[in-house]
């Protein structure tokens, strides 16, 4: 089973059980952001977690095996059409150089890890319209000279 087939099986089971990603993650015991990313094939899960997810969703062991496989993290290089994903591209397009400059001032020459990383997505209620709160937390990795 490849990652695309795995994702399709998971999404179908999620829909049939009428569970949210938050509910599934709570039952499995990991972050909903990381769980969803793994279910979409962009990260892998340890055997124990993959098996637990499959038990929650009543999925066969072949899905667990696919969840444990290392991902091939590629994506299209074109601007996405989905409005939510496009807006994130827009944020990086407008603020990316600013983020890079401010990280450089605060930490020095380096990058934020996307491996030693966590992210949370929250909702902030606001009378002027609810707000999406995305918190990204990555280890700073300084560039090395040799």
CA distance 51 to 100: 39
Q: Catalytic annotation on 131?
A: no
CA–CA–CA angle 6, 36, 7 (5° rounding) = 15
Catalytic residue from among 47, 113, 120, 131: 113
Nearest to 64 by CA among 79, 42, 47, 83: 47
- Report helix angle 47-57 to 3-17, nearest 10: 40
Catalytic residue from among 90, 97, 101, 120: 90
DSSP state of 109: S
- What tokens were used for 15? 């829909």
Q: Catalytic annotation on 31?
A: no
CA distance 63 to 50: 8
As annotated, the active-site residues are: 87, 90, 113
């Amino acid at each position: 089973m490849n990652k695309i087939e795995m994702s399709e099986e998971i999404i179908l089971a999620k829909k049939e059980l009428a569970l949210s990603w938050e509910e599934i993650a709570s039952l499995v015991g990991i972050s909903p952001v990381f769980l969803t990313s793994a279910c979409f094939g962009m990260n892998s899960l340890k055997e124990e977690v993959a098996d637990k997810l499959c038990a929650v969703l009543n999925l066969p062991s072949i899905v667990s095996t696919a969840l444990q496989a290392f991902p091939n993290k590629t994506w299209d290089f074109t601007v996405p059409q989905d409005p939510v994903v496009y807006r994130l591209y827009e944020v990086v397009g407008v603020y990316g150089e600013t983020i890079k400059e401010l990280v450089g001032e605060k930490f020095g020459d380096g990058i934020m890890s996307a491996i030693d990383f966590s992210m949370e997505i929250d909702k902030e209620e606001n009378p002027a319209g609810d707000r999406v709160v995305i918190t990204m937390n990555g280890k700073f990795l300084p560039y090395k000279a040799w």
